Amino acid sequence: MLGQRSFDELGTPLFDVTFVVLDLETTGATPKSCEITEIGAVKYRAGELLGTFQTLVNPGAPIPPTITVLTGITQAMVVDAPKVEEALPSLLEFIGGAVIVGHNIRFDMSFLNAAAQRLGYGRLPNRTSDTVALARRLVRTEVRNLRLSSLARHFRSPTKPNHRALEDARATAHVFFQLLERAGGVGATYLEDLLRLPTAKGQPHYDKINLTDRLPRRPGVYLFHDLDDNVIYVGKAKNLRERVRSYFYGDKRRNVTTMLRNLARVDHRVCPTELEAEITELRLIHAMAPRYNRKSRPPKTTHWLKLTKDRYPRLSIVRAYKEDGAAYLGPFRSKRHAETVMTAIWDAVPIRRCTNSRKGRSVACNYSQLGLAMCPCDGDIDESAYTEVVRTVRNGIATDPELLLAPLVERMRERATQERFEEAAAARDRYQALAGALERRRNWQTLQAAGRLWAEAPNGDGAFVDQGRLVSTWLGGDRPPLFNVSGRNELDPTQVPTSVALQEEAHLIWRWLTRTGVRVMDSRAPLVSPSNPVPKLEALAG
């Protein structure tokens, strides 16, 4: 017979725990090459505010423009700020033995531990609690996503997160204490229970875990069926058994509880390699459109961006791709994404924007009057100059992406210098959207030109590809007979994919082909990327 647990075994009541809610701003994503620029922290015990800590930190290196755009912290602001070796001792004294809380706390702790170890303090021994993990467990079905801004809005935080350390720490503290109330409702009233809560078992539908008993520990695709045997979710896994069982250990996705309530049967398909599993998942989702695959389901309408073949060509968003000699970008999952790419090109070159092609109207369009575009309605358009603008767009899409991307970097740099950070951020987003569209177009054309090919990874895993479509894969040592890659292709090459499914499959294949050590063993034609690669934002901005 088990006796009652002692108070020591129960753990520390939450009202006796001191929490320090922490947020850092940094110059980048990794402490190996980036530094802290700002520290903000608030200390609580039993819900009472005990103290506040805030300081800018001189990183000892230039702050990238993209970080300034995100946080608003400029180089001038940190020139006279203390360096991390001056700020860290005070912060460690402020934290003491408290439990450190943060939103994605692993990120903040990686920078703190790196600095502490470099300065001889060693890794911080404090226990940590992550509001992302708690929110995933407690409120995942109530919120659109787990970003701090979304959670703060959901819990009506009086402090709005703004990528500044102290304000974000205060917003995180509000979210944390709201989550503590929810945790208390499921019995987590002690610190030890709270720290275990994100990975605790005991889901409402945990009894259905026996549906996973026959799943193998191999790569593949799993399919969830409802009582009517409809497929309601498709996923991929390196280890089918472990991945599917993980759904019963905690909320990993939005609406998992509802999905598990409807779950009646689990089917699976073993795949030789992870690449085949990824592509099988993609094909099944596009074929079946399961209702819980919300982000990856095929779009209802597909859009392309087209450079028309008028006397004065312009950019147009269309719903069908045609082999008509026009230049295309896409396909895009949404019209909004296509509009972002179109606006990026508008920002880069003064190509016609209005739809009126009649030259010499009595009143020019607004774009022409503001000097944003060369439009025929102006009446004074120089046809040779306009031809050069169109040539720039064509060449930027087809051969030299820097023609379109470099002006966007300059625009971003100018707006940041003028402290118009929202406009600079918009230019950055447009750059990334355009660069991504150009990159995928070029990768598609490279695969089309290569035709049939087979390639192998260093471990011997291989794949046979035909014009950007996967034919088969094999494990190392199980290579099938040599393929005939010299025959004629069944499909004529296209300048862009004719569907989102084809584009996403080609992207997965390209990502695998360009991994370190993967070798093309044979192909109908050389697999050669264009001589002018799509430049990274950091390369042009630097």
pTM of the predicted model as reported, rounded to 2 decimal places: 0.60
% the chain with pLDDT above 70: 89
Measured distance CA(91)–CA(400) in Å, rounded: 50
Beta bridge partners of 267: 223
Confidence class for position 187, pLDDT limits 50, 70, 90: low
Confidence class for position 395, pLDDT limits 50, 70, 90: very high
* Pick from 10-19, 187-196, 298-307, 528-537: least confident: 187-196
Is the model more confident about 71 or about 356? 71
**Taking 70 as the threshold, does the pLDDT of residue 360 lie above it?**
no
**Taking 50 as the threshold, does the pLDDT of residue 50 lie above it?**
yes
Give residue 253's pLDDT.
54
Confidence class for position 57, pLDDT limits 50, 70, 90: very high
163 is catalytic: yes
Residue 354 zone, left/alpha/beta (φ > 0; ψ -120 to 50; rest): beta
Give residue 132's pLDDT.
96
Are β-strands 452-456 and 327-332 bridged in parallel, bridged antiparallel, or unpaired? unpaired
* Pick from 3-12, 73-82, 126-135: least confident: 3-12
Measured distance CA(131)–CA(173) in Å, rounded: 9
Give residue 115's pLDDT.
95
Question: Which residue in the list 103, 154, 163, 286 is annotated as catalytic?
Answer: 163
User: Could you give the maximum distance between any two Cα atoms of the chain, in Å?
Assistant: 96
What's the average model confidence in pLDDT over 188-217? 73
DSSP per residue over 80-91, as a string?
TSPBHHHHHHHH
Confidence class for position 7, pLDDT limits 50, 70, 90: very low
Helix (H, G, I), strand (E, B) or coil at 338: helix
Q: Are 505 and 281 in contact (CB under 8 A)?
A: no
Please calculate the CA angle 60-65-71 and round it to the nearest 5 degrees.
85
* Pick from 214-223, 322-331, 389-398, 472-481: least confident: 472-481
Give residue 216's pLDDT.
86
Confidence class for position 1, pLDDT limits 50, 70, 90: very low
Q: Are 94 and 53 in contact (CB under 8 A)?
A: yes
Can you point out the beta strands (E) in 264-326? 265-270, 303-307, 315-318
* Pick from 1-15, 180-194, 427-441: least confident: 1-15
The mean predicted confidence, pLDDT, of the chain is 87
- Sheet of strand 519-523: strand arrangement: 469-474, 462-466, 452-456, 519-523
Q: What is the pLDDT of residues 60-87, one digit of tens each?
A: 999 999 999 999 999 999 999 999 999 9
Give residue 27's pLDDT.
94
Confidence class for position 43, pLDDT limits 50, 70, 90: very high
Give residue 489's pLDDT.
53
DSSP per residue over 106-148, as a string?
HHHHHHHHHHHHHTT--S----EEEHHHHHHHHSTTTSS---H
Q: Which domains does the chain have, with CATH numbers?
A: 7-199 (3.30.420.10), 206-288 (3.40.1440.10), 303-440 (no CATH), 447-523 (no CATH)
Helix (H, G, I), strand (E, B) or coil at 45: strand
Which are the contacts of 274, defined by CB distance < 8 A and separation ≥ 6? 219, 236, 238
Is the model more confident about 453 or about 539? 453
Give residue 198's pLDDT.
80
DSSP per residue over 49-81, as a string?
EEEEEEEE-B-SSPPPHHHHHHH---HHHHTTS
